[in-house]
């Protein structure tokens, strides 16, 4: 209680902090990033709505690249291993992360899933996030880049409705463009305009996974990002302070 004037008020001590609430997640994400960097693995956090075509893009990527051994994937979903099964069938070694009710992946879930996952010869690890345009954008997983799949069927103004997701994107893959002839009300220029109002320097590739269209540009982008990673990678493996239990 207040000792000064006898007013009976409690003694309040204000503590000013600037504490990032998700600091623990961010620390784990840094740790994941160090792993990827030390192993020269480009890690891509692939996000988008349910049904945006994330898995189809990865299947087409494996087909187009011709060496699926260079790819691995963690597939996040609330339930089922269907996406991981599809990716395995496409030749990409994959693990499912089933989150139960959780609407996003976090760095710890990714870290746990990496234990015992054979990443030998892998050049690019895709984390196919839970289909959701809100929550996954909040959590750093340790990725080198965020890629958002946006299908033309989702409407022209999706980026304006979900600005956080697109603001965090390094690249947008505009998917299902083969359907455009059936969507006379969708103007691709309007989608580009919406992206420019939520992304400062929007980079967009158009893709039709069904006929592998747009894959060359996408594969080149992945190569360039991986080369950039290699030039900034630390020379030695980082020090581990925790046991990597399975």
Partner 1 sequence: MHEYSIVQSLVDSVESVARPYEGGSVHHVYVDIGELAGVDCDLLQTAYDTFREGTICQDAPLTIERIAAQWECPHCHLAIRRGEILRCPSCNEPAKLAAGDEILLRRVEMEVA
Q: Minimal distance in Å, beta carbon 107 to partner 1?
A: 12
Question: Interface residues with partner 1 (CB under 8 A)?
Answer: 1, 10-25, 102-104, 106, 134-135, 137-139, 163-165, 167, 193, 196-201
- Residue 35 has which token pair? 């792993």
Closer to partner 1 by Cβ: residue 197 or 237? 197
Q: Minimal distance in Å, beta carbon 201 to partner 1?
A: 4
Question: Three-state SS for 172?
Answer: strand
142 phi-psi bin (left φ>0, alpha ψ -120 to 50, beta other): left
Closer to partner 1 by Cβ: residue 102 or 186? 102
Question: Three-state SS for 121?
Answer: coil
Q: Which of 106, 80, 204 is nearest to 150 (CA)?
A: 204
The C-alpha angle with vertex 225 and arms to 221 and 229, in degrees rounded to 5, equals: 170
Q: Minimal distance in Å, beta carbon 39 to partner 1?
A: 28
Contact between 72 and 39 (Cβ < 8 Å): no
Closer to partner 1 by Cβ: residue 18 or 236? 18
Q: Minimal distance in Å, beta carbon 168 to partner 1?
A: 8
Closer to partner 1 by Cβ: residue 59 or 77? 77
CA–CA dist 35, 27 (Å, integer): 13
222 phi-psi bin (left φ>0, alpha ψ -120 to 50, beta other): alpha
Strand 171-175 to 204-206 pairing: parallel
H helical segments located in 82-197: 82-89, 107-114, 158-161, 163-167, 188-196
Q: What is the CA radius of gyration of the chain?
A: 21
Q: Minimal distance in Å, beta carbon 73 to partner 1?
A: 22
Q: Minimal distance in Å, beta carbon 183 to partner 1?
A: 25
Closer to partner 1 by Cβ: residue 22 or 64? 22
Closer to partner 1 by Cβ: residue 25 or 143? 25
């Amino acid at each position: 209680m207040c000792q000064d004037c006898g007013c009976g008020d409690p003694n309040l001590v204000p503590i000013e902090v600037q504490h990032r609430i998700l600091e623990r997640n961010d620390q784990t994400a840094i740790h994941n990033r160090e792993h990827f960097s030390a192993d020269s693995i480009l890690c891509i956090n692939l996000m988008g709505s349910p049904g945006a075509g994330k898995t189809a893009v990865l299947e087409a990527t494996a087909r187009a690249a011709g060496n699926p051994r260079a790819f691995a994937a963690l597939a996040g979903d609330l339930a089922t291993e269907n996406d991981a099964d599809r990716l395995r069938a496409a030749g990409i070694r994959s693990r499912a992360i089933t989150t139960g009710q959780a609407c996003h992946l976090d760095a710890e879930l990714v870290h746990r899933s990496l234990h015992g996952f054979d990443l030998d010869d892998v050049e690019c690890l895709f984390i196919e996030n839970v289909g959701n345009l809100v929550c996954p954008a909040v959590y750093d997983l340790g990725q080198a880049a965020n890629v958002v799949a946006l299908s033309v069927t989702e409407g022209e103004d999706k980026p304006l409705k979900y600005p956080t997701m697109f603001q965090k994107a390094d690249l947008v893959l505009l998917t299902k463009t083969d359907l455009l002839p059936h969507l006379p009300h969708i103007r691709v220029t309007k989608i580009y305009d919406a992206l420019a109002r939520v992304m400062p320097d929007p980079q967009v590739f158009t893709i039709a996974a069904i006929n592998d269209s747009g894959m060359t540009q996408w594969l080149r982008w992945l190569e360039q990002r991986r080369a950039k990673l290699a030039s900034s990678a630390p020379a030695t493996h980082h020090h581990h302070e925790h046991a990597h239990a399975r």
